[in-house]
Amino acid sequence: MRFEVRRLAADLGGELHGDDATVDGVAIDSRLLQPGQLFAAVRAERDGHDFVGAAIAAGAAAALVERPVEGVRSVVVPDVSRALMRMAGLARRRLPDRVVGITGSVGKTTTKDLLAAALATHFRTTANERSFNNELGVPLTLANAPEDTEAAVVEMGARGHGHIALLCSMARPTVGIELAVAAVHVEMMGGLDQIMVAKRELVEALPRDGVAVLNAADPRVMAMAAHTPAAVLTFGEGGAVTATGVELDADLVPTFTLESDWGRATVRLGVRGEHNVSNALAAAAAALWLGVPVAAVADGLGRVAASPWRMDLRTAPSGALVLNDAYNASPTSVAAALRSLASLPAARRVAVLGYMAELGASERADHEGIAALCGELGVELVAVGTDLYGVEPVADAPAALAVLGGVDAGTAVLVKASRVAGLERVAAALLVDG
């Protein structure tokens, strides 16, 4: 969105240094900045003020800072992060009331991608880049929405109570999708019931004329119906929007019939894994509620461009199948990926798994449960960097590759872990060298 710097300074309670200008959107990384944007010098792991010069050299039209920078057109505010959140609110006022918030312990980014694709068949749609779903990512999503945006999809993550409420105060969603309550970020949020309380902040924030899209197969999600002023629309088994005749092809791509009060249509999903059928139904329910015809919804679900390192199945030069799902990991998502691996046509199936982070007191039991599932499915387990799976681990990605040895056309390899493990390097090496 375009903002006049002088007006922006007044709205943010800041002080303009330099002459007036128009900025088109905002960036917090000077390396990713587009010419004409506002550079927000956020203090995080690094101090953004150290990169103001680089941002101006890259074409920034102005900077949002906490101290004046000589020779740089800037808006000086007491706290850049808080000003960025206020800027998000300014942007939201210029958006229509087709703003969808998505949360849940698993599946948020894939559902975001699916919904954005479905809405884009009927509306000019904007959505978070990748998994930019926190107090910085959501403001960037809103402030960088094109002027002609007709629908917005906002993924919302939470690492504690009050986080989603904060994001909702900026995005003011009219539709809220609740995917699942599972053991993710347990260390920070407590048990499943506490995670449920944190996640339901989304439906609590919805307006009376909005809709809460709830997973009918998750009792904790369904319990949220009593905590929202909005209407309720359910998806999944036993819900109002369902899938029948689900089949997986050899590439793990699901095909099914989408059934709803708005009609039915055949869907060949654009993402892999049977577990993503539920995410597709959540996206379909929201899109149908917002007025997208069922045939267009089905078309969009088949055209989605998935975010990287999520159920990315490729064939290595050796002929081995490599399933790269290394973006993140929780017990629920690892179990789903293992079942996908088990369905691949291969004589040897290997899971290269790293640490599942933030599980709290249950982390050993959770890791050992995944190891047991590997045994049930006939999957070899290569544990990287952690002994929590109950098997002798290898130290790092190169060691994992050494243990894998020569892979061939009869081998299928899953690579999955929390982001801190960086196991995408294993998948990359297999795809280069086989």
- Predicted TM-score of the model (pTM): 0.89
Over residues 322-347, mean pLDDT: 92
Over residues 71-85, mean pLDDT: 97
CATH topology of domain 2-77: 3.40.1390
Whether 186 has a pLDDT exceeding 80, the answer reads no
Whether 131 has a pLDDT exceeding 80, the answer reads no
pLDDT at 297: 98
Q: What are the C-alpha distances in Å from 396 to residues 376, 393, 426?
A: 26, 9, 9
Beta strands in 198-316 (DSSP E): 211-215, 231-235, 242-248, 254-260, 263-268, 312-315
Question: How remote is the C-alpha of 46 from its chain's centroid?
Answer: 24
Provide CB contacts within 8 A for 391, sequence distance 6+. Answer: 371, 381, 383
Distance CA(403)–CA(353), nearest Å, equals: 13
pLDDT at 202: 98
Q: What is the pLDDT of residues 399-421, one digit of tens each?
A: 999 999 889 999 999 999 877 77
Q: What is the pLDDT of residues 336-395, one digit of tens each?
A: 999 999 999 999 999 999 999 888 888 999 999 999 999 999 999 999 999 999 999 999
Distance CA(179)–CA(352), nearest Å, equals: 27
Could you give the 3-state DSSP secondary structure of residue 397? helix
Q: What is the pLDDT of residues 139-181, one digit of tens each?
A: 999 999 999 999 999 999 988 899 999 999 999 999 999 999 9
Q: What is the CATH number of domain 312-433?
A: 3.90.190.20
Whether 185 has a pLDDT exceeding 70, the answer reads no
Over residues 9-17, mean pLDDT: 97
pLDDT at 192: 87
pLDDT at 187: 61
pLDDT at 188: 65
Could you give the 3-state DSSP secondary structure of residue 384? strand
Q: What are the C-alpha distances in Å from 178 to residues 234, 238, 332?
A: 10, 16, 16
Whether 112 has a pLDDT exceeding 80, the answer reads yes
Distance CA(149)–CA(376), nearest Å, equals: 48
Residue 94, Cβ neighbours under 10 Å: how many?
Answer: 12
Domain ranges of the chain: 2-77, 95-303, 312-433
- Name the class of domain 95-303: alpha beta
For residue 326, name the pLDDT band (cuts at 50, 70, 90): confident
CATH topology agreement for domains 95-303 and 312-433: no
For residue 429, name the pLDDT band (cuts at 50, 70, 90): very high
Measuring CA to CA, which residue among 139, 118, 183, 174 is closest to residue 334?
A: 183
Question: SS3 string of 254-286?
Answer: EEEEEEECCEEEEEECCCCCCCHHHHHHHHHHH
Q: What are the C-alpha distances in Å from 96 to residues 153, 282, 422?
A: 12, 21, 39
- Work out the burial of residue 67: count CB atoms within 10 Å of its CB; fewer than 13 is exposed, 13-18 middle, 19 or more buried: exposed
Over residues 222-240, mean pLDDT: 98
Residue 364, Cβ neighbours under 10 Å: how many?
Answer: 13
Measuring CA to CA, which residue among 250, 260, 251, 207 is closest to residue 231?
A: 207
Whether 282 has a pLDDT exceeding 70, the answer reads yes
Least confident of 42-46, 96-100, 282-286, 366-370: 42-46
Mean pLDDT of the chain: 94
For residue 309, name the pLDDT band (cuts at 50, 70, 90): confident
Whether 129 has a pLDDT exceeding 90, the answer reads no
Q: What percent of the chain has pLDDT over 70?
A: 98
pLDDT at 358: 80
